[in-house]
A and B are shown apart, each in its own frame.
Chain A
Amino acid sequence: AQSVTQPDIHITVSEGASLELRCNYSYGATPYLFWYVQSPGQGLQLLLKYFSGDTLVQGIKGFEAEFKRSQSSFNLRKPSVHWSDAAEYFCAVYNTNAGKSTFGDGTTLTVKP
């Protein structure tokens, strides 16, 4: 069965500092991986995705993520965080056979001024 673990429930960083959010997945085949962001009261917005090819993927808002098969990880990074990045971030793995996504429980990002 597929699963996603986001080890950090809550992360606080200072504005302008770098950010890394961790995601580990369990899936039997080559995974389709996603990062979404959710602001309070808002729907999920896709930040970036990995289907195949280059293991370093670029997304919107200056985010990037690196797929590491050997570590079963897909960590999200941003070199310089802005106050508007404060939100909840979800990693997900998509099961191409069953047509469903499994999400982690999310990491809440707080940005200090």
Chain B
Amino acid sequence: GAGVSQTPSNKVTEKGKYVELRCDPISGHTALYWYRQSLGQGPEFLIYFQGTGAADDSGLPNDRFFAVRPEGSVSTLKIQRTERGDSAVYLCASSLTQAETQYFGPGTRLLVL
């Protein structure tokens, strides 16, 4: 079956603009995770959804970052007033339930000029 997909694969934007990154999890997976990976570092946790609700958003760096999963499937990560420091690869993962293996998507590479 299809794995986790993320769109777009690359996004270039200007400082101050708004961006949306989309994640399509594996069908039937109730848990969905967003991570951010900066150059030379491991993925850093942002937010975790169980179903439609954000079970843990402690990794979101500030209130410019927001994520939704309205129907418990697709999720969108939204970044307002982007800054150059937001440039990174944003990874999405899903798992059947919490505490199951997470499967990662290919990521969205965001570049803020």
State which residues 35-49 of B face A: CB under 8 Å.
35, 40-45, 48
Chain B 44-79 per-residue mask, 1 if CB under 8 angstroms from chain A, else 0: 110010100001101100000000000000000000
Supposing A43-B91, A94-B99 touch, asked if A100 and B42 sit within 8 A by C-beta, the answer is no
The bracket for how many chain B residues form the interface is: 20 to 34
State which residues 33-62 of A face B: CB under 8 Å.
34, 36, 42-46, 49
Supposing A90-B43, A106-B42 touch, asked if A101 and B102 sit within 8 A by C-beta, the answer is yes
Would you call A98 an interface residue if the criterion is a C-beta within 8 Å of the partner chain's C-beta atoms? yes
The bracket for how many chain A residues form the interface is: 20 to 34
Would you call B98 an interface residue if the criterion is a C-beta within 8 Å of the partner chain's C-beta atoms? yes
State the main secondary structure of chain A at its contact with B.
Answer: strand
The answer to whether B42 and A99 have CB atoms under 8 Å apart is: no
The answer to whether B106 and A99 have CB atoms under 8 Å apart is: no
Chain A 78-108 per-residue mask, 1 if CB under 8 angstroms from chain B, else 0: 0000000000001010101011111111100
The answer to whether A44 and B104 have CB atoms under 8 Å apart is: yes
Contacts of B55 in A (CB 8 A): 99
Alpha-carbon separation in the docked complex, A4 to B44 (Å)? 12
The answer to whether B48 and A99 have CB atoms under 8 Å apart is: yes
A98 contacts which of B43, B56, B104, B106 (Cβ < 8 Å)?
B56
Chain A residue with Cβ nearest B33: A100
The answer to whether B43 and A103 have CB atoms under 8 Å apart is: yes
Contacts of B44 in A (CB 8 A): 103
Contacts of B4 in A (CB 8 A): 43
Chain B residue with Cβ nearest A42: B106
Contacts of A34 in B (CB 8 A): 101
A sample of 21 inter-chain contacts (CB < 8 A) reads A36-B104, A43-B104, A46-B101, A46-B102, A46-B103, A94-B102, A98-B48, A98-B56, A99-B33, A99-B50, A99-B98, A100-B33, A100-B45, A100-B56, A100-B58, A101-B33, A101-B35, A103-B42, A103-B43, A105-B42, A106-B42
> B-side interface residues toward A, CB under 8 Å?
4, 31, 33, 35, 40-45, 48, 50, 55-56, 58-59, 91, 93, 98-99, 101-107
